[in-house]
Amino acid sequence: MDFPVIYLNSNDGSGMLAFGSGPELVQKKSDLNEVQQFINAHAGSYLFGWINYDLKNEIHGLSSANNDHLEIPEVFLWKPDHVVKLYKEHYEFLQGKKDEQSFNFLNDFIEEETDVNFHPYPINYKSRISKDEYLKHVQDLKSHIQRGDIYEVNFCQEFYAENIELDYLLDAYFKLNDITKAPFSSFVHYNEFSVLCGSPERFIKKEGSKILSQPIKGTAPRHADPVIDHVVREELRNDPKEQAENVMIVDLVRNDLARIAEPNSVNVDELFGIYTFNTVHQMISTISCTEKANTSFTDVLRATFPMGSMTGAPKRSAMELIEKHESFKRGLYSGSIGYITPNGDFDWNVVIRSLLYNRNKKYLSCAVGSAITIASDPEKEYEECLFKVERILSGMNQ
């Protein structure tokens, strides 16, 4: 593929496929004023792209010094030549013309999606830190919580592989998607960068004047035995530790949204909802508001990014501790992939449960994290990280 491609896959039979050349904004270091200028210049068109976690540095006046092995730009926005809405066997060109070239690409893409004869990807991943190092960091973070520096922090670690040739990117993505079947799944390819994303989490959505966010906090593994699986699901629903993690982030998101909301319009639509996916059960809450008039996309980002589920609370203090204790630069992991519609609506995910790849460096990364609270058991947090990624990493190898 010699042009950008982004596929947003809801795994309910629908999706949005953007491809082809077109005006681009690529920022190695973010500038939100320039981002808004690009959006304004292409008002009335579909725009697709990603936002790197390190946009936090501009928004919150922070810095990042950890090693960046992927070197994915902080911001990528693009007006694709073609945008196609997919629904089961139907498709509609929303942007660009259906001609021989675009139809052939679309047809090849759909054929790849329906081909389940996946290649194996026998990759040996290394952990960036040892288990003992992980446990020590969690204990240190709990000490900060004990002192009142923070209430909760999302601490992440990286599994990675070097000298990797991913020759069948679409095949690899659809294999990952077959494992996860997540509602905010996505495939991204741009120059040497590729993202195979199996995310179950929405960051933020705008439809008309309504904005909503759906943070995930609370995870339990799936089990093959349906009886055990049901028990685990109900234990998650009623677990006071998981509820405490979730409600702290709900409060953070409520405060974030209040900055751009009409007075008294912030609402918790669902608290502690339990949703089941292929690999895990998740606790998800939904918070919404009516946005103030003349609120821009970058106004929303300044108020809400990074998403609280990937930082902790208070957000700034949590991010400072994340930078101190994590051993890698998150980059696009815990950032967001999404799109903006011609009328200014948008929908963006949270980049988790993902494989991130730099073809030039032959570097493949899969990061994972969990929420650390005062009630956290370091051993169990480590186990949670493992079961979040185990199905992905082992499934891709088969």
Would residue 85 show up in a list of annotated catalytic residues for this protein? no
Would residue 152 show up in a list of annotated catalytic residues for this protein? no
CB 119 within 8 A of CB 175: yes
Q: Rounded to the nearest 5 degrees, what angle is found at the Cα of 159, between the Cα atoms of 239 and 374? A: 30
* Burial of residue 244, with CB atoms counted within 10 A of its CB: 0-12 exposed, 13-18 middle, 19 or more buried: middle
Catalytic annotation, pick one of 58, 74, 113, 201: 201
Q: Is the dihedral of CA 389, 391, 396, 398 positive or negative?
A: positive
Catalytic annotation, pick one of 56, 79, 142, 217: 217
> Cα dihedral angle (272, 335, 192, 161), rounded to 10 degrees?
-60
Distance, CA of 347 to CA of 344 (rounded, Å): 10
Tell me the residue type at 158: E
Active site residue ranges? 201, 217
